[in-house]
Amino acid sequence: MAYFIGLGYSDGFSAHLARLLEELVPDSPVRLTVGTDAVCSHCPNNINGFCSKPDKVAGYDRAVLDLCGLGEGDILPFGVFASLVQKRLLAPGCRPGICGDCQWNEVCAAHPSRWA
Ligand code: SF4
């Protein structure tokens, strides 16, 4: 989300993520999960509610939660979550160590975070 520039797994996925980023205002409550979520709903890798690479993605998600001092199931305002991610993970340069093996790594590495 922090580095989204319109690219994605399919046109439907990208359009949905763009909509989601518009709809999520700082006060929007979000519930954190390491399973499929609102972002995954239009992803072609979402097979009947299950990601095709669940262990890889859950590893990314758990690392983010750990660095932010959060846990699965926590509910908090989206703006608070985004600020925590920016401050504790993106600003200190921790992102490549978490998801540097992702296919989108070069895209994220080439752009500033929208939350900076
Ligand atoms: S976690 Fe899996 S289903 Fe969700 S957006 Fe990523 S690749 Fe798609």
What residue ranges do the domains of the chain occupy? 11-109
Best residue among 3, 14, 42, 53 to mutate for probing ligand 1's pocket (most ligand atoms within 8 Å of CB) is 53
How confident is the model at residue 30, as a pLDDT?
A: 98
Token pair recorded at residue 9: 């797994």
Q: Average of pLDDT values for 15-37?
A: 97
How high is the pLDDT of residue 1?
96
48-73: per-residue pLDDT in tens?
Answer: 999 999 999 999 999 999 999 999 99
Q: Is the CB of 57 under 6 A from ligand 1?
A: yes
Do the Cβ atoms of 18 and 12 come closer than 8 Å?
A: no
Query: 30 alpha carbon to ligand 1 midpoint, in Å?
Result: 17
Cβ contacts of 100 within 8 Å, gap of 6 or more: none
Considering only CA atoms, which residue is closest to atom 6 of ligand 1? 40
Mean pLDDT estimate for the chain: 97
Q: What percent of the chain has pLDDT over 90?
A: 100
Residue-level pLDDT at 106: 97
